[in-house]
């Protein structure tokens, strides 16, 4: 989780990602951020997020993103 | 059939009456029949195009779903015998097969679209007659979005081919969208809606507003746009700025007017279609502008082009190489740069095959990337002057800046000649020719002073409605809902103004919408 928070902080250092929800719904992360984030997840976690998983509910909070990473890795 | 015609209003009244008179469970059949009648008004000879897309997509989607279900069932029944890696390998193999089938469906249908839009076929009277009435790319994009959603298992494939045919052909969106998603639109189409006076009156009000925008504003200012475009030797320098403003008004009133009619028609039938505009001229950045203008096209390209491009295997290899060569910080952003530019290139091509559309698309991509890269600088600036960012003059400046940046590149669509457009941009600085603004030159075409006054009042009205929505967050119709007398007066006046001052007759072309050609 710490690694993910670090990646997210690199995108927006002024956001408290540990407690913020609605990252997509509130427009904190946009499509350009998502692509950079996915590239980082691939590099740091070795997990490739397919396009069909790029939906708001999977990216609305750090916890949701972590759950997505774990789920794809598990599958 | 054209939206702006008496015939369409009669057709609409008949569809409306029949919809609420027949039993609820058959209402979707009436909508299907109405949609095919609407389509066939373009010419029954064109029916093959929509039928081929409907049937091919229906069967490919069914097959994709069958393959996916079979693969899932296999993994479930062999879960204990297969290791995690074996399961992954099996799923990956099955996915490749489904991807190949998806590609066949996409290439076949986009091939039809490309053949009709980008080959010499488009110039023939047979095809140009069709394309001038039916926005083929709108229903094609909507249908291909459904196919990709089924491939991604985000949508269950429709079992009933007739119901699927309605989703593809729903008549209000056949002219210029919006490009709806299956999950949002289809359930509403298939459900028979109760007659609801609120929906019906809101729908009719929105249709009237759409006609007003199209006939009183868009088609009136279009006369000036066409005249200025046709005489670049006369209208250069500062008059290019006038053209930028005029064309922005023209395309906004035209496109949103058409959307108001389409969405209003849906509302009268109890069907809520996706909004395509959210007051784009209040945007403070290019990125925000594209979240507010032609929203359904933008989200289509984001979901079905931008994201897949960004995460595809070649892009991941590029990313790895770039990290090694350029370092982590820049390297991780390269896929985003490439995907943005390619997506905007394709968005440009969607509008047309001319170089002007390609340059327009690329410029949009470049502007978005430049402002993205400058964002740390903006952040530092705003940290230094924390109160400036929310001050009214600065916000107005940002809106004004975005309006002009988008307007400047938008006139590539007016001249449709990249070299000429660049020369005209240059003329603003090199040879401003201010006299054209004061010597009556702008009154030289068939727009008189009275036309400009009507136009000004129309634009102020359109602006006021947008400001009310932006500030209150409420639709003006909701604010007028309980003021029956005032509401009746306003909409009766709008009808009267549209009938009396609508720009039709000699010199005007109220026939079709600008976006229909895309």
pLDDT tens readout for residues A2-24:
899 999 998 888 889 999 999 99
**According to the model, what pLDDT value does residue B79 have?**
86
| pLDDT exceeds 60 at position B237 | yes
| pLDDT exceeds 60 at position B506 | no
To the nearest 10°, the Cα dihedral for B101, B104, B106, B112?
-160
More confident residue, B65 or B42: B65
Cβ contact A62:A5 at 8 Å: yes
Contacts of B179 (CB under 8 A, 6+ apart): B138, B141, B142, B145, B173, B274, B296, B297, B300
User: Residue A31 and residue B302: Cβ atoms within 8 Å?
Assistant: yes
Q: How far is B62 from chain A (nearest CA, A)?
A: 18
Contacts of A39 in chain B (CB under 8 A): 310, 316, 319, 332-333, 335-336
| pLDDT exceeds 80 at position B370 | yes
| pLDDT exceeds 90 at position B146 | yes
Mean pLDDT of all residues in B232-261:
94
**ipTM score for this prediction:** 0.90
What are B35's two structure tokens? 């949609």
Q: How far apart are CA B33 and CA B119, in angstroms?
A: 32
Interface test with A, best of B82, B303, B332, B338 (most A CBs within 10 A): B332
Residue B445 pLDDT class (50, 70, 90 cuts): low
| pLDDT exceeds 80 at position B275 | yes
Contacts of A38 in chain B (CB under 8 A): 310-311
A70 interface with B at CB cutoff 8 Å = no
Q: How far apart are CA B137 and CA B122, in angstroms?
A: 13
Contacts of B174 (CB under 8 A, 6+ apart): B35, B38, B39, B134, B135, B138, B139
Domain A2-74 - what CATH class? mainly alpha
B461-497 pLDDT, tens digit per residue, is: 999 999 999 999 888 898 888 888 888 878 888 887 7
| pLDDT exceeds 60 at position B505 | no
Contacts of B368 in chain A (CB under 8 A): 32
**According to the model, what pLDDT value does residue B130 have?**
81
User: Residue B308 and residue A51: Cβ atoms within 8 Å?
Assistant: yes
User: In residues, how long is chain A?
Assistant: 75
Mean pLDDT of all residues in B300-311:
94
User: Residue A42 and residue B332: Cβ atoms within 8 Å?
Assistant: no
B178-227 pLDDT, tens digit per residue, is: 999 999 999 999 999 999 999 999 999 999 999 999 999 999 999 999 98
Query: Any idea which residue has 């019906």 for tokens?
Result: B200
From A39, A54, A75, residue closest to B332, measured CB to CB: A39
In terms of Cβ atoms closer than 10 Å to its own Cβ (0-12, 13-18, 19+), residue A49 is: buried
Q: How far apart are CA B455 and CA B497, in angstroms?
A: 12
More confident residue, B359 or B375: B359
| pLDDT exceeds 70 at position A55 | yes
Domain boundaries, chain A: 2-74
| pLDDT exceeds 80 at position B290 | yes
More confident residue, B52 or B129: B52
Residue B51 pLDDT class (50, 70, 90 cuts): very high
| pLDDT exceeds 60 at position B58 | yes
| pLDDT exceeds 90 at position A58 | yes
A24 by DSSP, 3-state: which? Answer: coil
CB-based burial, B126-152: b 16+ in 10 Å, e otherwise: ebeebbebbbbbbbbbbbbbbbbbbbb
Query: Any idea which residue has 């491939």 for tokens?
Result: B151
**According to the model, what pLDDT value does residue B510 have?**
55
| pLDDT exceeds 70 at position B517 | no
A39 interface with B at CB cutoff 8 Å = yes
Among A27-36, B71-80, B165-174, B321-330, which stretch is predicted with the lowest mean pLDDT?
A: B321-330
B214-229 pLDDT, tens digit per residue, is: 999 999 999 999 989 9
Nearest chain A residue to B302, by CA: A31
**According to the model, what pLDDT value does residue B16 have?**
97
């Amino acid at each position: 989780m710490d690694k993910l928070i670090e990646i997210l902080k690199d995108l927006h250092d002024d956001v408290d990602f540990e407690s913020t929800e609605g990252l997509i719904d509130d427009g904190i992360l946009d499509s350009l951020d998502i692509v950079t984030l996915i590239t980082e997840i691939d590099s740091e976690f070795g997990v490739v997020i397919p396009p069909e998983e790029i939906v708001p509910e999977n990216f609305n909070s750090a916890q949701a993103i972590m759950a997505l990473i774990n789920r794809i890795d598990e599958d | 059939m054209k939206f702006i015609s008496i015939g369409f209003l009669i057709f609409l009244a008949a569809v409306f009456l029949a919809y609420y008179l027949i039993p609820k469970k058959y209402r979707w059949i009436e909508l299907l029949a109405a949609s095919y009648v609407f389509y066939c008004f373009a010419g029954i000879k064109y029916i093959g195009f929509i039928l081929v897309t409907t049937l091919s997509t229906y069967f490919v989607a069914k097959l994709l779903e069958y393959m996916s279900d079979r693969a899932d069932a296999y993994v479930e029944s062999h879960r204990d015998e297969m290791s995690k890696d074996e399961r992954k390998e099996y799923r990956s193999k099955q996915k490749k097969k489904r991807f190949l089938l998806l590609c066949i469906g996409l290439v076949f249908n986009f091939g039809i679209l490309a053949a009709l839009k980008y080959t010499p076929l488009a110039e023939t009277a047979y095809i140009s007659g069709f394309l001038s009435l039916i926005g083929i790319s709108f229903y094609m994009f909507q249908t291909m979005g459904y196919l990709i959603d089924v491939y991604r298992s985000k949508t269950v494939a429709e079992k009933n081919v007739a119901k699927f045919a309605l989703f593809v052909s729903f008549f209000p969106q056949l002219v210029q969208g919006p490009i709806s998603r299956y999950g949002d639109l289809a359930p509403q189409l298939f459900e028979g809606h109760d007659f609801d006076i609120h929906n019906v009156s809101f729908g009719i009000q929105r249709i009237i507003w759409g006609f007003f925008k199209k006939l009183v504003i868009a088609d009136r200012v279009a006369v000036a746009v066409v005249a200025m475009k046709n005489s670049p030797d006369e209208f250069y320098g500062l008059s290019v700025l006038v053209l930028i403003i005029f064309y922005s008004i023209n395309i906004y009133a035209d496109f949103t007017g058409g959307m108001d009619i389409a969405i209003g028609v849906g509302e009268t039938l109890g069907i809520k279609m996706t909004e395509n505009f959210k007051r784009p001229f209040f945007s403070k950045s290019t990125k925000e502008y594209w979240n507010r203008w032609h929203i359904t096209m933008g989200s289509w390209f984001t979901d079905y082009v931008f994201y897949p491009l960004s995460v595809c295997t070649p892009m991941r290899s590029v990313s790895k190489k770039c990290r090694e060569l350029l370092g982590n910080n820049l390297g991780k952003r390269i896929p985003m740069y490439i995907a943005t530019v390619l997506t905007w290139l394709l968005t440009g091509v969607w509008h047309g095959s001319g170089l002007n559309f390609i340059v327009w698309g690329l410029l949009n991509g470049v502007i978005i990337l430049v402002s993205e890269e400058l964002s740390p600088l903006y952040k530092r600036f705003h940290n230094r002057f924390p109160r400036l960012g929310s001050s009214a003059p600065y916000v107005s400046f940002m809106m004004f800046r975005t309006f002009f940046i988008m307007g400047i590149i938008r006139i590539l669509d007016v001249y449709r000649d990249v070299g000429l457009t660049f020369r005209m941009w240059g003329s603003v600085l090199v040879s401003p020719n201010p006299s054209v603004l004061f010597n009556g030159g702008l009154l030289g075409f068939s727009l008189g002073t009275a036309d400009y006054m009507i136009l000004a009042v129309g634009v102020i009205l359109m602006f006021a409605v947008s400001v009310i929505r932006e500030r209150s967050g409420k639709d003006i119709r909701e604010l007028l809902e309980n003021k029956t007398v005032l509401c009746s007066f306003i909409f009766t006046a709008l009808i009267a103004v549209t009938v009396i001052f609508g720009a039709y007759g000699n010199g005007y072309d109220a026939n079709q919408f600008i976006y229909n050609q895309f």
